[in-house]
Amino acid sequence: MGFVNLFGRLRQQPPARVPTDTVVPLVELDPYYYYAVELLFRFDCVLDAHQLQQSLSQLMEIGNWRQLGGRLRRRESNSDYQFDLHVPAQFTEQRPAFIYRTFEWDGSIDDHPVATRIPRMTNSISVHSVRDDLAPLIGTADFPKTADDWIYSDYPGFFFQQINFHDATLLMTMFPHHLMDATGYGIFLDAWAAVLHGRINDIPPSRSYSNDLDPCNTLAEKVPPERYIWHRHLMSRFNSLVYTARTIWDNLAKKEDRVVCIPSWFVEQIRADALKALSTSQESAFVSESDVLVAWFSRLMLSAVNPSPSRSLMLVNAVDIRSTVLDDHQRTAYLMNLIFMSHTVLPISEVLSQPISHLASKIRAALISDRTAEQIQARIAWSKEVGRHPLIGPSDNFTCFITNWAKASLFSLDFSPAIVGERSSATPCTPSALLSYNDVQRITPSCCVVLGKDAESNWWMQWYLPKTAWKNVEKHLHPTSQSRCRKGV
């Protein structure tokens, strides 16, 4: 089957270039961004699909926001990483700025055999399987999912599917990671909501995707690569082989993603306990709620997966760099991928023997030291020498990738002006549930998406772990065990 796909793709040709398209040369695309990101929002109100589409169409006619409706094409140089956006001079029914499908279900969402399985927050920690259970709701099978799919089609990058029930709305959205990260998508959603609310003057100008205007172009020239904290920790060729072999072995187990819903009272308590524990040794101790959540579940994950305690845990945290290196980030919409990796490395034996507060403080310390302007500039300069994704740290790393979407404020998306019926538009209509469906290949033994904090201050996380580990996780998270989950904070 693979050979059939390969030779079929070799014979495939991209659509003919449209002479009136505006061509926007993109920065070299990182293969990590070649895939689509799919999200499912639940709103406990019925939304007018026409109003949502009209406001989105209006946004995509404003200045550089139009570039979001461009078609991805490989540059004529035929480089693996060089692509352009071909933006239609006019968006039409034949070449729309986005695809928007709508469906109606004649009944309550609670009566739908699939939609009723969407997680709901309770007063205790809960774990929910989502990918297989909710797959019938996701109608993107005929839509591009990777950069290679897009370049051989004339599809726009954005896809939306709305399902209205008598008492709720499901909105499935898909965006191309090659155009933006989660924070960028949050900026996009905020702008869409601003048009819907009639606040079009509040929409900031969007920075062009043109590689000539890439904000990272000048950053590499400011600080020498030798100043990067991890500069001296590049793995040797032999250690790289050892690490790769270990990672392949770790990844042999079948993975499964599940949503973990954590009520606000639990988060507040473990953070308070962590701050109290740290105050005995640190004068002005600080850890965020997400620091503590990641530390808490990472320890739980290690106990469930059970890697050798002699190995090292490496938490790789993807962090937004807009506020650190862009002076005009509050006046300009930087939608593109602007993330930087922060690394926390500790012996697994230390992580498991020390309290949660210990790992949480190490995560916070790494974030503080790694995402200074100097470190970001030095890392960009270093990448010119060693490539985009050098292997660093000990060769026995058990790697866990963390991407925190809390800053994107996806749970704050307010579509209240589009409410159908008697409900007051002054009442916010924000998501009550949020799920992620990412087809990215998981190259680390575990991965976590911190989806964010909802309107009731409850936290949502989505973890990708070996299927066999989830039984142990759920045993620890059983309601009768949750009082013990705080042990060792």
Nearest by Cα to 302 from 292, 291, 290, 314: 314
Is residue 476 part of the annotated active site? The answer reads no
| Given 181, 273, 414, 454, the catalytic residue | 414
Task: Provide the 10 A C-beta neighbour count for residue 456.
Answer: 10
| Given 177, 231, 343, 358, the catalytic residue | 177
Task: Output the CA–CA distances (angstroms, integers) from residue 177 to 2, 151, 376, 413, 464, in the order listed.
Answer: 24, 14, 21, 20, 19
Give 348's contacts (C-beta < 8 A, 6+ positions apart).
302, 307, 308, 309, 310, 311, 312, 313, 398
Measured between alpha carbons, how far is 276 from 249 in angstroms, rounded to an integer?
A: 39
Scan for tokens 């059939």, then name that residue: 4
Nearest by Cα to 452 from 189, 64, 77, 245: 189
The enclosing H or E element of 403 equals strand 397-404
Helix, strand and coil content of the chain, in percent to the nearest 5, comes to: 40, 25, 40
Is residue 414 part of the annotated active site? The answer reads yes
Measured between alpha carbons, how far is 46 from 107 in angstroms, rounded to an integer?
A: 12
Q: If 0-12 CB within 10 Å is exposed, 13-18 middle and 19+ buried, where does residue 166 land? A: middle
Amino acid at the residue 275:
L
Measured between alpha carbons, how far is 477 from 366 in angstroms, rounded to an integer?
A: 28
Measured between alpha carbons, how far is 463 from 284 in angstroms, rounded to an integer?
A: 31
* Parallel/antiparallel/unpaired status of strands 169-176 and 339-347: unpaired
For helices 289-305 and 469-476, give the axis angle rounded to 10 degrees: 130
User: In the numeric block, which tokens belong to residue 155?
Assistant: 């599809």
* CB-CB contact of 177 with 33 (8 Å): yes
Measured between alpha carbons, how far is 408 from 376 in angstroms, rounded to an integer?
A: 20
Measured between alpha carbons, how far is 456 from 460 in angstroms, rounded to an integer?
A: 11
Give 429's contacts (C-beta < 8 A, 6+ positions apart).
43, 44, 45, 47, 414, 415, 416, 418, 419, 423
Give 10's contacts (C-beta < 8 A, 6+ positions apart).
none
For helices 289-305 and 264-279, give the axis angle rounded to 10 degrees: 100
Scan for tokens 């990671």, then name that residue: 177
Positions annotated as catalytic residues are: 177, 414
